[in-house]
Amino acid sequence: MKKIGLNLKVSALALALGAASSPVVQAQTAAEELQQLRATTQVLINTLVESGLLNREKAAAMMRQVQPNVASAPNQIATTTPETGVDGKRVVRVPFVPESVRREMREQIKGEVLSQAKAERWGQPDAYPDWLSRLTFEGDIRARAETASLGQDNTAPGFGFRGGQYTRAADLALNNTGGLPNSNTQEDFDRTRVRARLGVVAKVNEQVTSGVRLTTGSSTGSPTSTNQTMGQSFNKYAVVLDRAYVQVKPDASLGVTAGRMANPFYSTDLVYADDLGFEGIAVAAQEKWIGGEGFAAVGYFPLTENRPGTSASRSMVGVQLGNAFKMANRDELKLGLSLYTYQGITASRETEEARLTRPDYAVRYEYSSALRQRGNTLFRVNSQLDTATNLGLASEFKILNLTTSLSLNNLLGQPVVLTADFVKNLGFDKKKIKARTGYELADGKDSGYMLRTAFGPAQAYQPGQWNASLAYRYLGSDAVLDAFTNSDFGLGGTNNKGWVLQTSYGLYKNTWASARWLSANQIDSFAPGNITKFSSDILQLDLNARF
């Protein structure tokens, strides 16, 4: 509407200028004509200022240019002898300007004014610097009430390493230095949490974009969660940098991203938690063909840097190939096959010589408590004479992942998505684990899967919209690295199975409420020679808003 109003105003002014430039038909003196032209020019400039199309400074400059010319013209004309007719009366000659010439003049003036108005953003009260137009802001806030019901017959915490020196739940098995349990397995609890995220994406040029995102987070030691637990005696929350990347796209089908980025792979939270950020470099490509679109991705992601004497290098390499088959009614079948291999994370038992000579003894193999969640098979890496306890991963991790989804746009009047995800750790080998650790595993699982049905739009962003989903998931102890999988189901990690029921309802535009129930049970024992049990039922109620 602003642009239309601007065009109408400029057109009217151009017509007025065209009329003012034509000779006045009535008989007037040359001085009177100039005086009227001067007054008309003043009116036109004042109109431009009042309409917001011209500021006061530019108007004053224009009047200063006009004043000398108009002021000197009457003196020159006064010296000219008026022409008189045979009857002694003054002769008034009116030049004729063809309509086509006047039209051309009007269009030329209008075009020049429009061009300048567009370039200088005349009449736009919300005009802002050009660099701001290249930025896109986004964010969301989620407030959550959560209650966790733990099985009353769960194994009591602090059960230790009975029957051997390995475990799958160090936080439950070990006591603290005072001999008391580190964690809770039987008492119900509840908590309130909040998550806030604010990101900005900058379009550097046609090929390059960059992004930064800030988020809440209780600490930087949890890679899978950006929740902040309330109840900090009104203390302020920490804000961390969750995204920092540069993306180069030479063309629409190829992109290279470097820095801290979102998950570049097509996957579910069976392997990688939704809030997990990836650090490194990733290359992604897409190619359309008749009936579908192929996609591929490859990435290198360092986990720890190589610092001799302090820490060993750890990394992950991911490769994915996939295709989205386009079907009738905009339905789609999507398949993705991935292989994720981890380097440097598998531990070995330390020797007494290493304890006496290596500054990074035990630490180089340790699976940090700040990183791990629960479920992977861990063993004590310390030498036989060492009384300390450092835990490392018993298995290698080479994860083969097949993810499929069938999207039906109109089934019973609503979109429906059927998802199946299967994962297998090709690096899990009990013989190699025995050679590495000295322990023969009687159980332990190398695979997992998830089946999910979702009904309704993916997100309930509009009032009255709703969706619901039901999923069953089974994730063996060493199917994936427990540090990076879902942090809510079974209170996080692997070695659990059960159901997830979720629903959302749109309250207002970009505001919705959701509820999620997660029921999980332990699959294999947490320690050898000691049959353990752990079950949990978690209810989460969320209020969400995005902007």
Q: Label residue 109 by pLDDT band (50, 70, 90).
A: confident
Mean pLDDT across 132-143: 93
For the cut 50, the answer to whether the pLDDT of residue 14 exceeds it is no
Q: Kindly report the backbone phi and psi dihedral angles of residue 127, in degrees, each rounded to the nearest multiple of 5, phi listed first.
A: -60, 140
What is the average per-residue pLDDT within 413-424?
96
Question: Which residue has better confidence, 196 or 133?
Answer: 196
pLDDT digits (tens, 9 = 90+) for 185-197: 999 999 999 999 9
Residue with tokens 């200022």: 49
For residue 6, name the pLDDT band (cuts at 50, 70, 90): very low
Mean pLDDT of the chain: 86
Beta bridge partners of 323: 294, 335
pLDDT at 12: 45
User: Which of 115-124, 262-271, 393-402 shows the lowest mean pLDDT across its residues?
Assistant: 115-124
Task: Specify whether the CB–CB gap between 326 and 311 falls below 8 A.
Answer: no
Lowest mean per-residue pLDDT among 67-76, 180-189, 403-412: 67-76
- Joined together, the tokens standing for residue 491 give 């209170």
Instruction: Give the distance, in angstroms, between the CA of residue 152 and the centroid of all CA atoms in the same chain.
Output: 40
- What's the confidence (pLDDT) of residue 487? 94
The residue assigned the tokens 């919705």 is 512
pLDDT for the residue numbered 27: 43
User: Span 292-312, mean pLDDT?
Assistant: 89
pLDDT score for 370: 87
CB 507 within 8 A of CB 499: no
pLDDT score for 544: 98
Most confident by average pLDDT, 82-86, 239-243, 441-445, 499-503: 499-503
- pLDDT tens, position by position, 508-543: 999 999 999 999 999 999 987 778 999 999 999 999
Q: Is 440 left (phi over 0), alpha (psi -120 to 50) or beta?
A: beta
Share of the chain above pLDDT 70, in %: 81
- Write a three-state SS string for 361-414: CCHHHCCCCCCCCCCCCEEECCCCCCCCCCEEECCCCEEEEEEEEEEEEEECCE
Q: What is the DSSP string of 396-459?
A: --EEEEEEEEEEEEEETTEEEEEEEEEEEETT--HHHHHHHHS---S----EEEEEEEEES-SS
**Residue 8 confidence (pLDDT) above 60:** no
pLDDT value, residue 17: 46
Report the CATH fold assignment for 141-189+251-546. Porin (2.40.160)
Residue 141 and residue 194 in contact, taking contact as beta carbons nearer than 8 Å: yes
Q: What is the mean pLDDT of residues 172-182?
A: 79
Range name among 94-98, 131-135, 467-471, 510-514 with the lowest pLDDT average:
94-98
Composition of the chain by helix, strand, coil, percent to 5: 20, 40, 40
* Res 162: pLDDT: 60
Whole-number pLDDT of residue 70? 47
> Which of 54-58, 70-74, 114-118, 369-373 tops mean pLDDT?
369-373
Q: pLDDT per residue over 59-86, tens digit each?
A: 777 777 656 554 454 444 444 566 676 6
The string of pLDDT tens digits covering residues 452-486 is 999 999 999 999 999 999 999 999 999 999 999 99
Q: Please state which of the ranges 12-16, 41-45, 90-94, 336-340 shows the lowest mean pLDDT.
A: 12-16
Instruction: Band the pLDDT of 401: cuts 50, 70, 90.
Output: very high
Q: What is the separation, in whole angstroms, between the first and last Cα of the chain?
A: 25
Q: Tokens 């119900």 correspond to what residue?
A: 188
Write the pLDDT tens digit of every residue in 205-256.
999 999 999 999 765 667 998 999 999 899 988 899 999 999 999 999 999 9
Q: Which residue has the higher pLDDT, 201 or 219?
A: 201
**Residue 124 above 70 pLDDT?**
no
If one compares 90 and 465, the residue with the highest pLDDT of the two is: 465
pLDDT of 171 above 50: yes
Q: What is the pLDDT of residue 246?
A: 98
Residue 142 has pLDDT above 50, yes or no: yes
Check: CB of residue 153 under 8 Å from CB of residue 522: no
Q: Does the pTM exceed 0.95?
A: no
* pLDDT given for residue 24 in this prediction: 42
